[in-house]
Structure 1
Amino acid sequence: MKRTTGPLRVALLGHGTVGAETARAVTGRAAELADRIGAPVELAGIAVRRARQLPGIDDSLITTDAQALVSRGDIDVVIELIGGIEPARSLVVTAMEAGACVVTANKALIARDGADLHRIAHKQGVALAYEAAVAGAVPVLRPLRQSLAGDRLQRVTGIVNGTTNFVLDRMTRSGGTLQGALQEAQRLGYAEADPTADVSGADAAAKMAILARLAFDTELPLGDVHTEGIAHLGPGDIAHARANGCVIKLVGICDRTPDGVNARVHPTLIPLEHPLAGVRGADNGILVEARAAGELMFHGAGAGGLATSSAVLGDLVAVCRDRVAGAGPERHSVSRVLPVRPLALVAARHHVSMFVTDEPGVLSRVSAVFAEEGVSLETVRQEGLGSAAQLALVTHLATDAAVTEVMNRLRELPCTRGTIRSIRLLGTRQKATS
């Protein structure tokens, strides 16, 4: 990496919630940052979509020409906070080709093009850092890349979307509908005006693709992350979870087996004694399982401008320190391409709830369907409701394909009434193996 001897010049792309907090820190904590880095840091320009005055920012630093800003050649670090794929990707590539390191919080870009961007960064001898792209203020990427680099990671299980965690937590603690909790999240700044990416699970899926790539040192296309959202969940699902000693969370899981890797995002029942059950509000929580280190829990603020800017500034300090020292960028290469295991072959415990006619022999007919598809039942509970009854069944480990076939057959039974619901259940934690 090119060694910088004078002040480090930083260009900021975007001045939204996170961008404003980042700019405020760079300008307001200049002396503190200089002490930590070993050289002064100065804001060289801020690119915005439309020209306007920014509080505390000299007007001469504001530009609407982001391409010209990143092409200047005298910029040491470009911080990309505009989000999306384009023009973010083109600007990041231009910045690296001009000799600048890049810090970004853009999970969509890194999930889709991270491997290519790392190759470009390596070729240009610059750093690409994106701690803020996954879990807000929670530092998890650097431990995966550095502290656990000599271990064998087996599984990463995480609550990585603060918006959906706030919504489901509020529904659990205060009751009410998903829409009501989502509106509250928007009022508090935990959800965007358009929360589709959060509610659909797309945001969490992008983050799990990044985590899987780093944890297992392999390519994992974003399209290979199975994704389910929370839009269909209601107060009844929350109450049912509570009755079973669980909470519902939107959980991302990526794991490694002898047959390959798998990544998925979906609503999950979590027993109250599990550490992820205690991740409240807009927090994120990530449980990493490694062969030697065992289980490591990372937990903290996962949404909001302050939390995300904390991770951005951490990357900025690390990149600038290397720039001052003339140290080469951290090596990041994919050593193998592991096969992706389809969700149909992934085993999990499932909680199935259904309404049936309250008559003799119904339970045996339902149980027979599970047995004929090779799905073993762990518990069965029946509650009478007049002429109908509700069955709650928990399976032992069973593949998604087998449970899907069970669900299809249960819908065809004459005794079935209404919708049959199935939600995966996070099992008892197991020691990671090779």
Structure 2
Amino acid sequence: MMECVLRADRVLIDGHLVPASVGIAGGQIAHIDALDADHSAAQDIRLPPDAVLLPGFVDTHVHINDPGTDWEGFASATAAAAAGGITTLVDMPLDSDPVTTSVSALNLKRSAAEGNCVVDIGFWGGVVPDNLDRLASLVRAGVRGFKCFLADSGNPDFGHLSPAQFRAAMARIADLDSLLLVHAESHAVIDAGPRPVGRSYRSFLASRPDAAEEDAVGLVVETARETGARAHIVHVSSAHVVPLLAAAKADGVAVTAETCPHYLTFDAETVPDGGTEFAVCPPIRDGANRELLWSALADGTLDLVVSDHSPCAPRDKAAGDFGRAFGGISSLQLGPRAAWTEAARRGFGMAEVSRWMSQRPAALAGYADRGRIALGLRADLCAFDPDAHETVHAGALRHRHPVSPYEGVSLRGAVLQTWVAGVPALTRIGEPV
């Protein structure tokens, strides 16, 4: 007998919404059948007519910042993820203490996570100038791949790579048959430019120009071509890099790229002076740029959408001073709904959003057992009402700190329930288990 059967008028299977029943046994999808198929199960759950049964979302770009900070934590991050329909997180290696650049640091992070997570967790390792000899041991210890910076990370314990160091790192990544995620902004371009000043968002935007992304992405593409290593560009904000990525892909270079809900939602024209909750690196650019990012998602030049959830304590947003504010946006719980809100306005459907936020992130991190609803895969699932609307109140979110640029924004969609390996991760009233 199966543990559970979920029945819904709309189940996303092979890119189509169809009526179906989905049977769960041993944490896996054991049956996919007609909506009214006769199955014996301990629980037989009929989802509301408005609900769509989706694969759980996978967010491969999350700064949980645990252990060693008060900025987030595994308990609050995974509770926020479950409330957002996200069933797998992959944690970034910096802004925890210690940073995840050695096996001993990875083990400390795993210890911090143990017993504190209501969704599944994976880890990226870090590449810094002095740890190339530790990458193989991190692979053996189970990291999903690696992350590096080509500009100042803001963390003195996580140094950025020079172009020569980056080439050496990519050669090592190729030898290991691993993956290198790259924060692709050029240190040289940023260092030569102006510094952000006071409350002016325009000065913050000028301090991290499109050219910084263009220069860095050019280096990544060139090095991936030379070494054969797999590279992934994180948080693309500038549409100026889209032609570089498109040409590389056409040539068969092993490079992929992501963008984030905040780049697909907001625009520089409406970021207020003093609005340091919008401060993020690279920055939110103008509305025309945003539409070009949507076009790049539509044609496959950009592969996926992830949150880059990078929270901090309210004090680190520096009371509206862009010259001192920490650059990061808190949005983990809201990512799928924010992306769906903007996607629906542009005529995209749930199938596209699921491909961008479930299937492709799972593939990026090497999870062959999730990201789709198919026989034998993990029963990581989300019941989602695509037509609900809700105004965001940051203080009601599961994130540790109530700081978000989405405060007061009306978003479309609601998560009704999340299952992680067939086990509910929310109670009936939407609170984490």
- Report the TM-score, using the length of structure 2 for normalisation: 0.29
Higher helix share: 1
